[in-house]
Chains A and B, each alone.
Chain A
C-alpha cells in the first residue's frame, strides 16, 4: 500500500496534469444542457459577485460626468418634448378622423452591461436586470441601432443575453421593403449571415435586413444588418446566403433595452413607443 502511495507521490505532477486534462475533456464532452448548467453555476458562484462590485464602482465613478451630460441633454429634450407633444396631439386628431384602431404599448427595461464575457468567443452579455424587473427568457434585447440578441438566462438580479454573434442564435428575417424571408444568424466565428435564400432572389447588396416578426420572439422591423455580398450556401448549394454587416457594433454597447411583456414589467420600466404590429415608428422601416 505504501508503495502505491509512494508511486502516486512520485508521479503527482503527471497524474495531476492527466486528471485536469481529463476533467477539461469531460467538461467539453458534456451534453448541451449539463454544460449550460455547470457554466451557469460557476458563473453565478465565482464571477457574478466580482462583476457586481466592478460594475457598481464603475457606475459611481462615471456618475458625475454623466450628470453633467444629462443636464445639457435635459434642456434640449425639454424643447423637443414640447414639439413632440404638439405632434402627438395632431396625430391623435388625425387618427380619430381616419378611424384607426387603438395602438398597443410596448414596454422596455433599460439595462447596463455588467460584463461582456472574459474569454475567446464568449458571445454573451451579463446585464444588471433580472426576473424581479420583469425580464424573462427569450425576450428580445436591442439598442436604438438595432438587434443585440435575446435573453437566455435570468436570476432575480441579473440576466444573460445571447448575442447575435452566438452560433446558436437565429432570427427570422427579411429585407426591408421586400417580401422574401430567411433566417439570420451567425456562422462559425461570429460572422452574421442571412441563410436560406432562394436562388432566384431580389435581395441585393446594400439591402437592410430586419426581423420579420415570424417566430414569436422578435417583433417585426428590428434592423439586423446590411447585405454585404451574396454567395451559395456551402453545405447544400441549392440555396444562397447573404453576408451581413451588422447594424449594431457590440464592442461599443454599455447600455441596452429589453423589450418586455407588459404583463410582467415592474413599475420602473418605461414605455418605448406606441405602434400597431411592428417597430416601424422607431426605425422607419419602409
Chain B
C-alpha cells in the first residue's frame, strides 16, 4: 500500500469515527472503531502498518485525554503489532473468527490501558474489564466485522 493510500485510509477512519461515534453508542457502551482499523491494518498489511496505524489512531484519541496522553497510542501499537505478527496463524474470512480476533484485541487493549490508568486508584481493574470492557469488546467486534466487510468490498473494487 502506498503512503498516500495509507493517509487516505487514516483520514477515512477519522471521518467515520467522528461522524458516527455519538450515534452508535449504546448507553454506556462505546465501540472503538479506531481499534477495528488497527486490527484491520495489522491483519491485512502486517506488523509495520498495524503498529503505525495504532500509533496515529491512538494519538488522535489521546488528544482528547488531557491527563493520560500517550496511553491509547501505547495500547494500540501493542495490539497492531501483535495482530500483524501472528496474522498468518489464524486469519480467516469467517465472521466468527473475525469477531473473536477483534474481541480479543479489544480486551488486550483495555487490559493495557486500564492496567496503567487504574494503577494508582482504588477502582477495580477486573470490575472495569468485566463490566465495561467486555460488553464494549463484543459490540466493537460485531460492528468491526461489518466494517471489515465494507473495506474488503472497497479494496476489491479498487484492485488493491
The answer to whether the Cβ of A267 comes within 8 Å of any Cβ in the partner chain is: no
| Chain A: minimal CB distance from B42 (Å) | 11
Asked whether A20 and B71 contact (CB < 8 A) given A42-B60, A187-B122, the answer is: no
User: Residue B70 at the A interface, CB < 8 A?
Assistant: yes
Which of the four size classes fits the interface of chain A? 35 or more
B18 touches A119 (CB 8 A): no
The answer to whether A47 and B122 touch (CB under 8 A), given A17-B81, A118-B21, is no
Chain B residues touching A, range: 35 or more
Whether the pair A234, B122 counts as a contact (CB closer than 8 A) is: yes
Which of chain B's residues have a CB closer than 8 A to the CB of A28?
A: 68-71, 74, 116
The answer to whether A13 and B48 touch (CB under 8 A), given A25-B70, A46-B14, is yes
Q: Is B146 an interface residue (CB 8 A)?
A: no
Taken together as a complex, chains A and B put the C-alpha atoms of A39 and B54 apart, in Å, by 17
Main secondary structure of the interface of A (DSSP, over half): helix
Q: Hey, which chain B residues are within 8 Å of A36, CB to CB? A: 66, 69
Quick check: B19 and A24 within 8 Å, CB to CB? no
CB pair B61 A24 closer than 8 Å: no
Distance of A122 Cα from B68 Cα, bound (Å): 9
Indicate if B58 sits at the interface (CB-CB under 8 A).
Answer: yes
Task: Given the known inter-chain contacts A20-B51, A122-B64, please indicate yes or no for A26 contacting B70, CB distance below 8 A.
Answer: yes
Question: Roughly how many angstroms separate A23 CA and B51 CA in the complex, as a whole number?
Answer: 12
Minimal beta-carbon separation of B47 from chain A (angstroms): 5
- A12-B121 in contact given A17-B81, A24-B58 (Cβ < 8 Å): no
CA distance A157 to B62 in the complex (A): 22
Closest to B47 in A: A13
Nearest-CB residue, chain B, relative to A50: B18
Q: Does B148 contact A (CB under 8 A)?
A: no
Q: Does A95 contact B (CB under 8 A)?
A: no
Given contacts A13-B47, A27-B69, A50-B18, contact A20 B64 (CB under 8 A): no
CB distance from A151 to the nearest CB of B (A): 13
- B73-112: which have CB < 8 Å to A? 73-74, 77-78, 81, 110
**Beyond A16-B52, A24-B71, A191-B123: 4 further Cβ-contacts under 8 Å?**
A27-B69, A35-B70, A50-B18, A121-B68
Which chain A residues have a beta carbon within 8 Å of chain B's beta carbons? Answer: 12-13, 16-17, 20-21, 23-30, 35-36, 38-40, 42-43, 46-47, 50-51, 54, 115-124, 152, 160, 162, 166-168, 187-189, 191, 234, 251
What are 15 contact pairs spanning A and B, CB under 8 A? A21-B77, A23-B70, A24-B58, A35-B67, A43-B63, A50-B18, A115-B21, A118-B34, A120-B61, A124-B64, A166-B66, A187-B122, A187-B123, A188-B122, A189-B118
